[in-house]
Structure 1
Amino acid sequence: MALNFHQLHIFYTVADRGSFSAAAQALHMTQPAVTMQIQALEEYFGTKLFVRSTKKIELTEAGKALMVYAKRSIDLVKETDQAMSRFTHMLQGRLLLGASLTVGEYILPRLLGPFNQAYPNIAIQLKVMNSTQILEEILKHQLTFGLIEAQVVHPDVHTEPVLSDELKLIVPNGHPLTESEDVTMEDVLRHPFILRERGSGTRQVMEEELSRKGINEENMKIVMELGSTGAVKSAVEAGLGITFLSQTSVKHELTLGVLRLVPIRGIRFERQFYATYSKSNLLPISAVTFLSFLREKDLSQWL
């Protein structure tokens, strides 16, 4: 029997997940099939790789040594996929993306067109949901790749920044704040606010930056909290209040002149959007290609 990457990947996943059953779920395999591959690997090396007990499994000294090389092999395959993705213009397949609301509704649609021109044979399926739902689906292996508005800290999930964004103060056309060339946060707090719901990525970025500036949200005149960016934009356009939104999400309204962007002296609401995926699962080449597209292209030309 020759050593193969598939067995190393199974071994790494078992060690990483801490059980054969969890590894089987992650790899979409049956538990007996995982056990069989580990036994074959142990026969190849002529030594036990795991100490098995009723409660848990632990690596033997041989297993700990192999773990180093298994991880190195997996990382090398990932790097190889990334390096070769730029040459795979005839790549075929399906790209299943999960994206949080702002990313999925306002940013990705502008990027998927150029990506589709470069890789016309990749069929794209986009699921728009909140960041928590994306994380849950990745952990359940129902989704392989997601783009979210906040960094996730989870032992089984990798996140990396791929896009920059900035929230801006958005007001209706003709609002008094548009008449001043030097607007402070003190000026802004005199006006009623319409905000995204608490817990949304947009609201979180606003809250964190205001807190850093020593501004308590209780000092804001919040007259409405709405569950979508579209609803917030409509309410602001109707003159019901002002808000903080991603500049990308109001590009159309700014062009039409129904909404205005007002700079605030001494404060910026900057944030990152993150790619997230399971640490133990290898991304399909379609997802690797899209991730390389986000990393390497000048996205500002489309946003």
Structure 2
Amino acid sequence: MDLHYLRIFYEVAKERSFTKAANKLYINQSAVSIQVKKFEELLNTKLFDRSSKKIKLTYSGEVLYKMAEEIFQKVKRAEKEMTRIIELDKAKISIGSTSTVGEPLIPKLMKAFSKVHSEIEYDIIFSDKQRLLKSLKEGELDVIIIDEEHITDSNLEVIEVDKFPYVLVSKEDYRDIEDVIDTPLISRKTIPNNNEAIAALENKYKISFDNQISVMGSLETIKGMVREGVGNVILPYYSVYKEVEAGEFKIIEKIEEVEDAYQIVITKDKRTLLEIIKFINFTQNFKII
């Protein structure tokens, strides 16, 4: 169905006049009549009853008019929305994040970001690093926020945001650091920095965390296990600072030798997009602690 014909038919049906429709469309009346007739031939049905002096729609014409009205109302709304987007510089970004970084960072970050940039809407997806990187490369995500990762892909740009030390935290206080080996250590063996932090602590105090519980997945699950006294855990400070400040967790040891940064990663072709520039600049200056 040709939308040009549909528009002419719609205006005639709406105005109930070929003359008024012609004036509205800035074409002559004979052209309107010819176009409507061609449209009827194309559809193989009569749209107007020409047996009376007044413009009257046939049954087919009434059905088509109602559908055309819905179509052009949607077109009008789309035009208004596009105008609003242009005038307000409105945009939308898709953000991906790992749970380790995202769970402590995203709620606070996006609340502050929205206050400053209310014109930018956003979607958020939590997943593991490899899936996030794949989605970023395929264009499903505009930007991802992940814990430190060595990335060599020439099509990606990595922007380091902030660094924090690892900390050993527990629900309980310990008089002696050596006593911690009697409690299971919740470990994330797939995270290189986590393994380095464990090794650094073992080397410093000549102890060995033989009793380890490996957990993969949600940061909240890990912290929940600490709250229940299942074990202690070594995490980047930014991911547990709220619990520490609230007195839920105690810092048993700060591991200065190993730091964890969180990074913004984007594809280089999106570096010049205004909404991406705004998000990067804001996040770089945002302090989670």
Q: 1:107 is paired with a residue of what secondary structure?
A: helix
Any stretches of 5+ residues in structure 2 without a counterpart? Answer: 1-87
Question: Structure 1 residues 153 and 210, CA, compared in 2 at 3 Å: closer, same or farther?
Answer: farther
- Taking the aligned partners of 1:251 and 1:97, their CA distance within structure 2 comes to 23
- Taking the aligned partners of 1:217 and 1:283, their CA distance within structure 2 comes to 50
- Taking the aligned partners of 1:150 and 1:239, their CA distance within structure 2 comes to 28
1:204 equivalent in structure 2 = 192
Whether the aligned pair in 1 keeps the contact of 2:167 and 2:236 (CA below 8 Å) is yes
Give the aligned residue type for 2:265: T
Whether the aligned pair in 2 keeps the contact of 1:194 and 1:241 (CA below 8 Å) is yes
Shift of 1:101: 1.2
- Taking the aligned partners of 1:204 and 1:148, their CA distance within structure 2 comes to 14
Shift of 1:205: 1.3
TM-score normalized by the length of structure 1: 0.58
Any stretches of 5+ residues in structure 1 without a counterpart? Answer: 1-89
Correspondence list, 1:214-293, <5 A: 215=203, 219-264=209-254, 267-293=256-282
1:154 equivalent in structure 2 = 153
- Taking the aligned partners of 2:187 and 2:210, their CA distance within structure 1 comes to 11
Identity %: 18
Correspondence list, 1:59-208, <5 A: 91-151=89-149, 152-172=151-171, 175-177=172-174, 179-180=175-176, 183=177, 186=178, 188-196=180-188, 198-199=189-190, 203-208=191-196
Whether the aligned pair in 2 keeps the contact of 1:95 and 1:125 (CA below 8 Å) is yes
Question: Structure 1 residues 176 and 217, CA, compared in 2 at 3 Å: closer, same or farther?
Answer: closer
Aligned-residue CA RMSD (Å)? 2.9
- Taking the aligned partners of 1:100 and 1:217, their CA distance within structure 2 comes to 31
CA deviation string 1:156-197 (max 9, x = no partner): 22212112233211101xx251x35xx4xx55444321123x
Question: Structure 1 residues 154 and 271, CA, compared in 2 at 3 Å: closer, same or farther?
Answer: same
- Taking the aligned partners of 1:91 and 1:220, their CA distance within structure 2 comes to 56
Q: How many positions carry a matched residue from both structures?
A: 200
2:20 equivalent in structure 1 = none
Give the aligned residue type for 1:205: N
Whether the aligned pair in 2 keeps the contact of 1:193 and 1:241 (CA below 8 Å) is yes
Question: Structure 1 residues 188 and 131, CA, compared in 2 at 3 Å: closer, same or farther?
Answer: same
Shift of 1:135: 0.8
2:66 equivalent in structure 1 = none
